[in-house]
Chains A and B, each alone.
Chain A
């Protein structure tokens, strides 16, 4: 039976490096994805994720399982992401509308698109890419705290109690925050929402 996160962390505290490797394996992908959607830069997201794991490792001696491991982990990640977003706010470059279409900006590789070669159904591909861009932009436009709340709620599937601890707010404040965020997304994505309703 797989050891729980808390047990693995307690083993790390006792000096078991292998348990740290297991935690790394278990959470590297959720963390990198969460941070990528927060900071919108793959390299930076990986740097921040490394920093999160390093902080977990540094804190091993003082670790006390008073909360869920994921709450602690994503609290560190969220704080780092919010600081990074605030630091970069004025440095970020807007994606030019004239920039060449890319295969998938999501994967971070800005390769020029050779549509005809790789995607026989060009029109379908472009439609999907446009939808994804709209969704990404809608998430990106949310205020940082709302964005973090949506990402933790939707993609990490954390419960309200955990998210409110991560964001340092009450559960009722979190519910209002999430409601406002989904309202904004509903408005921003109105054309896609209407399309979805017709399907």
Chain B
């Protein structure tokens, strides 16, 4: 076993996760390779150092918060629950039907208008333009002599 091949097994050797055959092969190599022996010792030192970090305890409210969040979860329904009659849905549907019936009963029918009550206009006898009162007032154009001149009107020079 050369040093390059050893790289990926060095950690397994340090933490005792190698197979027996791999471990024996590694020890055979270590017996002849000072560089790899040093590497093994340094990796061991690193794992010991990592043990120095203290373990923290979750806060006292942690469990309460998790249980509260779990309790707030909506109850999970299976797909067939969709077909199960729900009292709330049934009530809402009945209310809707009742409302539609009530609206249908209350709406008055359009009053019938007899044909003789409709005004008849004979277009041949009726001058729409001249009969229109506002237009009749404009039949004479205003003269310049009018005293009552709009202040905004611009007079010609």
A→B interface (CB under 8 Å): 20-21, 24-25, 28-29, 32-33, 36-37, 42, 46, 49-50, 53-54, 57-58, 61, 104, 106-108, 128, 131-132, 135-136, 139, 150, 153-155, 159-160, 172, 175-176, 178-179, 182, 185-186, 189, 192-193, 196-197
Option from B8, B17, B57 in Cβ contact (under 8 Å) with A29 = B57
Q: A58-B73, A160-B17, A179-B8 are in contact. Are A193 and B46 (CB under 8 A)?
A: yes
Q: Which of B7, B8, B52 contacts A132 (CB 8 A)?
A: B52
Chain A nearest CB: distance from B35 CB in Å? 13
Q: Write 28 A-B pairs (CB below 8 A) sorted by A numbering.
A: A21-B63, A24-B67, A28-B66, A29-B58, A32-B58, A32-B62, A37-B53, A42-B56, A49-B62, A50-B62, A54-B69, A54-B73, A131-B49, A131-B52, A153-B11, A154-B47, A175-B11, A179-B8, A179-B10, A182-B11, A186-B43, A189-B45, A192-B45, A192-B49, A193-B45, A193-B49, A196-B49, A197-B41
Number of interface residues of B (CB under 8 A): 35
Contact B66 A53 (CB under 8 A): yes
Known: A182-B43, A196-B48. A50 touches B69 (CB 8 A): yes
Q: Which of B1-31 contact A (CB under 8 A)?
A: 7-12, 15, 17
Q: Could you tell me which B residues sit within 8 Å of A by CB distance?
A: 7-12, 15, 17, 41-43, 45-50, 52-59, 62-63, 65-67, 69-70, 73, 76, 78
Q: Which residue of A lies closest to B41 (CB)?
A: A197
- Specify which of A36, A61, A150 is in contact with B56 (CB 8 Å cutoff): A36
Pick from B8, B56, B66: contact of A50, CB below 8 A.
B66
A196 contacts across to B, CB distance below 8 A: 45, 48-49
Contacts of B9 in A (CB 8 A): 175
User: Is there contact, CB below 8 Å, between B41 and A33?
Assistant: no
Chain B neighbourhood of A53, CB < 8 A: 66, 69-70
A129 to B156, CA, bound (A): 100
Given A154-B47, A197-B42, answer yes or no on A106-B66 (Cβ-Cβ < 8 Å).
no
Closest CB pairs A-B (n = 5) = A196-B45, A175-B8, A193-B45, A32-B58, A53-B66
- B57 cross-chain contacts in A, Cβ below 8 A: 29
A197 lies within 8 A of B45 (CB): yes
The reply to whether B49 and A189 form a contact with Cβ atoms under 8 Å apart is yes
- Give the one of B7, B49, B78 with max A CB within 10 A: B49
Chain B residues near A154 (CB-CB < 8 A): 47, 50
Q: Are A108 and B45 in contact (CB under 8 A)?
A: no
Q: What residues of chain B lie closer than 8 Å to A136, measured between beta carbons?
A: 53
